Structure 1
Amino acid sequence: MPYDLQLIPGAIFAILADVAETHTLTLSDRFGLMAAVMDEHLTEDECRAINRLLRAVQRGRVSLA
């Protein structure tokens, strides 16, 4: 069953700023990233921001809430 996910403009950078301040990736942040990954029209800067967030989680610098 396909889902129609809409990414709010600027949401990726808002998530990045929030995570940089709190060092925590919340459930709503994760849903926002899921919507972003499914969006085929991401800019290169948005893709880099997502990759930075994922690497930070992988390295343990950001915790999941």
Structure 2
Amino acid sequence: MNKGTIKFFNETKGFGFIKDANSEKEYFVHSSGLIDFVKETDEVSFELQQGQRGLNAVNVKRV
């Protein structure tokens, strides 16, 4: 499991970005990959899965 912070999340459009705590990389997250409700600045754990345009965060939950 990776850990990071929700950098941006648009509830209306259903997507956002997570900043990885270890690598400082940013990963796309879609609302379908959320386990918990999240908002900007929440600390989360997540897994990575290959998507159409790169790695996506999935199984995202608050810690």
The verdict on a shared fold, with TM-score over 0.5 as the criterion, is no
TM-score normalised by length of structure 2:
0.20
Instruction: Choose between structure 1 and 2: higher strand proportion.
Output: 2
- Which is higher, the Rg of structure 1 or of structure 2? 1
Normalised by the length of structure 1, the TM-score is: 0.19
- The answer to which structure has the higher helix fraction is 1
Instruction: Tell me: higher relative CO, structure 1 or 2? Use CA pairs within 8 A at least 6 residues apart.
Output: 1
